[in-house]
Amino acid sequence: MTRLNEKIAILFTKCFGNMFTFWIFCGWAFLPLIPVLSNYKETILYISSGFIQLAALPLIMVGQEVLGRESESRSKHDHQMIEAQFYRMEDAMVKLSLILEEIRELHLHTHKMLKKDNDVPEDI
């Protein structure tokens, strides 16, 4: 039941959170000013203040809370993935550093061997 309530809250939060709904509510707010609808003024105002404000506001708040939880869960997952990638890259950097050190040692060893044979190129 909780899952169903959360899905309904998310659905209505997304429905209320768009410009189309905003314009509908703006139009609804001006309905009592139309002379032809003056007989329904109390009903229109009751629906506005009763249902829309008292029922929709808690529904939107629940939807925001559920969406916030989902966002936080995604953020934690993203952080874990980025952290794992960081450690893999850090490990790769250590390995590359060791390889570079080996290359330097081989270069120095080669340079010493060539120097011993007097075959050292000038650009080394």
Q: Is the pLDDT of residue 90 over 90?
A: yes
Residue 79 domain flag:
yes
Kindly calculate the radius of gyration of the chain based on its CA atoms and give it in whole angstroms: 35
Give the model confidence (pLDDT) of 19-60 as tens digits. Answer: 898 898 888 888 888 888 888 888 888 887 777 777 888 888
The range of the structural domain enclosing residue 66 comes to 2-116
- pLDDT given at position 121: 62
**Average pLDDT over all residues of the chain:** 86
Residue 122 domain flag:
no
Q: Which residue has the higher pLDDT, 91 or 49?
A: 91
Residue 53 domain flag:
yes
Residue 25 domain flag:
yes
Tell me the three-class secondary structure of the chain, residue by residue: CHHHHHHHHHHHHHHHCCHHHHHHHHHHHHHHHCHHHHHHHHHHHHHHHHHHHHCHHHHHHHHHHHHHHHHHHHHHHHHHHHHHHHHHHHHHHHHHHHHHHHHHHHHHHHHHHHHHCCCCCCCC
The answer to whether the pTM exceeds 0.95 is no
Residues near 31 by beta carbon (within 8 Å), at least 6 away in sequence: 37, 40, 44
